[in-house]
Structure 1
């Protein structure tokens, strides 16, 4: 496995962790909240905090590192429209996610001390609304980053020896190209 392949795999895994953990924890905490069962809320809020520290935080640290390395290997310019869009969306995500981390800790603590759903203080419900308000743009920004990663819209590449090596090494000797035309899929072997 080449360095490029290893870095690319780490970058993709980081994306999966951020996207998957974010979507999963948001779904489960929202569903627990909607049940009105304080025990479900308590357990879920605790697990959301743990999941963010175990999965989301390391991936958030890893993404800029692996992303910059991939850009260097592929010769992607740091002044390209693509990079500026990704960087802006990453900052938006961070500006929303950092307060959400503190909100999740507060939700966990408030749920821990409540004897029943009715006993949850007004602060809990207010924090829950903020959690949703900040979570929607953060999740949307991550989704847009994934779209930009896949489509490369606005990417500017400066050809180099590293770029050529990166494009050639990961490809098997024979590839299948799949092109979708309406509801049919055509497969063509390439030499």
Structure 2
């Protein structure tokens, strides 16, 4: 069959669009401490949570946690620790030896310890995955109970790249040998302020 006849057949047999089901999100509501649940889940997946009263001591706390970090990318104006400047034009290949990256997270999910990070806040898409250690800084009022709430919030954004990050990168083979940092950061610290 020619390409045109294949495409014509596909178009002729296209199923009707189904509308999304209506979900009563109130069935997921729980009366819990969102910060505590988020902390439990971020630690469960191998991350760590640091709570601050504001960002005034952010750099001091980061230096305490990562005293050996030399090549640091800060994608936040609130942190002056950046030693490696990045921009949208930065070649990701030049970032292969970054020790630490600090990025603003937009939302946190209590049910699974995930943080939503948009492309605008990570500057270079490879940063959260190529760095040795990753810090995501999220406002406490951006912690939501479940993914449905986050999907509602991010559906309103301009369609650019974004990702959920939950814990450091890890993988395990069939012999159950766990490797942390296999495809991304070796450690993840979420700072709530």
TM normalised by structure 1 equals: 0.26
More strand by share: 2
The structure with more radius of gyration: 1
More helix by share: 1
TM normalised by structure 2 equals: 0.26
